[in-house]
A and B are shown apart, each in its own frame.
Chain A
């Protein structure tokens, strides 16, 4: 992977100037490279990783992993029905998998009831959906490489040879 991406993946706020210094290149060329990545869709978005485990307000959400079995369609396979499903705003992620079921969805809702309702009223009735299995998420330990736990850091001794 390009080192610019490696840096930005760790810290989306890294400035063009700092990246240029780190890679010993001109800021202008870094800027261009980032533009290109954005244009090509390699860089899709810059976002903040929020640890929702620590937010316990009334707006907190529940998440469910939903396995979906679908009947593929002629010529378009799974893509058409997948698009239909992932277009629902409730669907946060959607993957096509090998194995005993076809699509894996991550669905978000404000409570159990909302998610259940989404499955019962929107998802399950779809013509090509043969069956679903819903797993509610109880606790998140790690997400996208980030461990969601606040750890006390062990301090190195401040000075040593």
Chain B
């Protein structure tokens, strides 16, 4: 069939579980553990700052890079928390969520045919964004190392001469994160083989068992890393669409060039609110984190009790249980669970090839919901 759609877009793989998503969206009274965003509402101080900015008449464009106040706030925050200095003038760009940051990173760095290493299971957009940028994603299955990327695995891909690695930790969908030591090894490897790290640390604030380490803070990493982050997850600000990227001047300048033609700037209301988040939002972040951690323990314990092998994830708000011993594949499991018990989860296959024995369960849901959902899953498995 002839089509007017570009070849590049035609070649993009559609999501294999779109039909399942439609099924979920069409059903009522579902307990959904399939949601990739916090169940908290943005803390009031932050919302109020957005409202106030509107009252004051802040309705214009901002500079392409974003409000200076916000960039400065981010620079100071990173300096205080991680002792990592970025210049608000030249090394920070405010983006429409971390999603745009990821897109811009790839478009700014990738030449046609450049290889991009994408560990799986991973967030759904990395591969397609690499392709849209003209690159070739090379997927790396991390299953055998408990979903952790190791230098041993990486070394198998050196011969393909990849230009960049997309690292995401804590990881969506597994919740797996890395200690400073583990990151140090990856960093040394990347520096040695001249592979740039695009580090998506959107869940960094939600690390439960050890301190989160910024990849760019590792020895020698700063000039080799594009650090992608945002306000969505830690401050429960998904709908505001504010993210940021920090990196070497040259790369940020290139990204800003694309950003100014495509986006112009992030909505000013959102930037004003985000700026407030850095000042008064930290207490709420700590509170939400404690709450997530409690839910995590509860859900992991519950799933393991039900015989669904679940590793303790170090961060984010996902668990990635293995359902192999139920004899069902993930999509079948998810469909049946939805129809019979009205609980929605995401089949692992959505996050890469070879994960049809896994489910992503989000615990960004109230404790009552989680308890009820576990009960229903138990009923379902009987």
A21 touches B32 (CB 8 A): no
Q: Which of A3, A154, A158, A159 contacts B294 (CB 8 A)?
A: A3
Interface range for B? 20 to 34
A131 to chain B, nearest CB (A): 38
Task: Flag B27-59 by CB within 8 Å of A: 1 or 0 each.
Answer: 100101011110101000000000000000000
Partner among B24, B37, B302 whose Cβ is within 8 Å of the Cβ of A21: B302
| Chain A neighbourhood of B350, CB < 8 A | 161
Beyond A21-B302, A158-B30, list 16 extra A-B contacts (CB 8 Å).
A14-B367, A18-B367, A22-B295, A22-B297, A23-B297, A154-B41, A156-B39, A157-B25, A158-B24, A158-B27, A159-B34, A159-B344, A160-B37, A161-B36, A161-B123, A161-B125
Q: Is A24 an interface residue when CB atoms closer than 8 A count as contact?
A: yes
A21-B21 in contact (CB<8A): no
Q: State whether the Cβ of A144 lies closer than 8 Å to any Cβ in chain B.
A: no
- Cβ distance B33 to chain A, nearest Cβ, rounded Å: 9
Contacts of A158 in B (CB 8 A): 24-25, 27, 30, 32, 34-35, 344
A127 interface residue, CB < 8 Å from B?
Answer: no
Contacts of A21 in B (CB 8 A): 297-298, 301-302
- From B124, B344, B367, name the one whose CB has the most chain A CB atoms within 10 angstroms: B367
Q: CA of A25 to CA of B290 in the docked complex: distance in angstroms?
A: 15
Answer whether residue A92 sits at the interface, using C-beta atoms and an 8 A cutoff: no
Contact at A24–B297, with CB atoms within 8 Å? yes
Query: Which residues of chain B come closer than 8 Å to A14, judged between CB atoms?
Result: 367
How many Å from the CB of A39 to the closest CB on chain B?
Answer: 25
A57 within 8 A of B: no
Cβ contact of B124, chosen from A6, A156, A157, A161, cutoff 8 A: A161
Q: How far is the CA of A11 from the CA of B294 in the complex (A)?
A: 14
A96 at the interface (CB under 8 A from B): no
Roughly how many angstroms separate A93 CA and B36 CA in the complex, as a whole number?
44
Expressed in whole angstroms, the minimum distance between the Cβ of B333 and any Cβ of chain A is 15
Q: Which residues of A in the span 136-158 have a Cβ within 8 Å of any Cβ on B?
A: 154, 156-158
Q: Could you list some 23 contacts between A and B, CB below 8 A?
A: A3-B294, A14-B367, A18-B371, A22-B294, A22-B297, A22-B367, A23-B297, A24-B301, A156-B32, A156-B35, A156-B37, A157-B25, A158-B25, A158-B30, A158-B344, A159-B21, A159-B32, A159-B34, A159-B35, A160-B35, A160-B36, A161-B172, A161-B350
